[in-house]
Amino acid sequence: MTASIPEKAAPAGDLPTVRLKPKANARAIRHGFPWVYANELVTDRRTRSKPAGTLAVLEDDGRVPLGLVALNPDSKIICRMLDRDPQASIDAAWFEARLRKALHLRERVFDTPYYRLAHAEADGLPGVVIDRFGDACVVQPNAAWAEAFLPALTDALVAVTGVRDVLKNASGRTRSLEGLDDVNAVLHGSAPDAPIPVSMNGAVYMADVTGGQKTGLYFDQRPNHAFAASLARDARVLDVFSHVGGFSLAALAGGAQSALAVDGSAAALTLAEAGAKASGCADRFQTRQGDAFEVLAALAQEGAQFDLVICDPPAFAPSKQALDAGLRAYERVARLAATLVAEDGILGLCSCSHAADLSAFRAACARGIGRSGRRGSLIYTGFAGPDHPQLPQLAESGYLKSVFFQL
């Protein structure tokens, strides 16, 4: 099922109302929690018949309005809070106001137009991710309401940023949970015909915004790349789950002696090699394609040693149900990687699993290091950069963790 696209925002007085059950936590909603789960809402036949993306006024069990929400009867997250004002109109002007506020923050922090422009709930755009690559923006509308209002969002995005091209990326895992398709599209302008070079931390990365992973580049690791680069002078560096060379290219820019990037994707490694060439460090850069666990084991068999090893795997624990298995996977990564770290070297380990909080992830890493026969001292804990703001009431918005140990 896909969301229907409205001709215009419905007047507030014409909107349906939905109501919390008496035992639902209305206080959490009042204090900023942005979601209502399906078991917290009165879901009669009228509510269940509403199309995904329908706007509605949310009331508590005493019929006191709490705000304007987007309704999706087929999702576990049945309501997403859009505006505390139940009379708000969701139109181009509303989107422009949200985007201008988001842009103001990014322009205060960065002097180049490469960043995450909108980070979903934390920027007041529930389920919407927008990454900016200079004159192009890639939008991930991961919620049904955003899909329904995509024309208004696109118009506002062009008006606020002046970008030439706007692309829709439909690869987000949550889209299927919202009943949405996986079809990418050009929303404005045209699709770039080549990877976009992005300068960060002294390196150049090649972002494939049409066929790469996610939106083409992971901006969230920028501050952690910078920390790794500060440790990299004259170091032998191993970057595992490297994607397009995130940590390894930053380390080379920081003066690393050499860097080896490991990833399962040949396409990602080709982009990493192009980035190394553009960064002027191709002679110090190598790649190795293969399953990361198998490559780590093979490197140990070869007796390889590195002064700085960083592992940045995909989300091993994308949900609470996957938490135990995910923590075991993180522990295994730490154990295998620790054997490759030279004495007094540094091991950096990352997690983008929101279900694994910092304490659980750090403990799994420490167990893995211990089971490798090594002892580690924690020297750095990092998170996503300021273009990935966290909504304090929503733990999922603070998904990224990065821990560095001296072994």
Q: What is the pLDDT of residues 333-354, one digit of tens each?
A: 999 999 999 999 999 999 999 9
Q: Which long-range contacts (CB under 8 A, 24 or more apart) does 67-73 make?
A: 67/29, 68/12, 68/15, 69/18, 69/36, 70/126, 70/143, 70/144, 70/145, 71/18, 71/47, 72/143, 72/144, 72/145, 72/178, 72/179, 73/43, 73/47, 73/48, 73/49
Distance CA 139, CA 184 (A): 10
Q: Does 14 have pLDDT greater than 60?
A: yes
Q: Does 1 have pLDDT greater than 60?
A: no
The mean of the pLDDT values for the chain is 94
Active centre residues (catalytic): 352
Q: What is the pLDDT of residues 242-257, one digit of tens each?
A: 999 999 999 999 999 9
Distance CA 255, CA 253 (A): 5
**Which CATH number does the domain 196-406 belong to among 3.40.50.300, 3.40.120.10, 3.40.50.150, 3.90.1640.30?**
3.40.50.150
Q: What is the pLDDT of residues 121-154, one digit of tens each?
A: 999 999 999 999 999 999 999 999 999 999 999 9
Q: What is the CATH class of 92-188?
A: alpha beta
Q: Say yes or no: domain 12-83 is CATH 2.40.10.10.
A: no
pTM, two decimal places? 0.93
- The domains of the chain are located at 12-83, 92-188, 196-406
Upper half-sphere CA count for residue 354 (Cβ side, 13 Å): 9
Which helix (H) or strand (E) segment is 263 a member of?
strand 258-263
Q: State both tokens at 369.
A: 């290091």
**Whether the Cβ atoms of residue 73 and residue 47 lie closer than 8 Å to each other:** yes
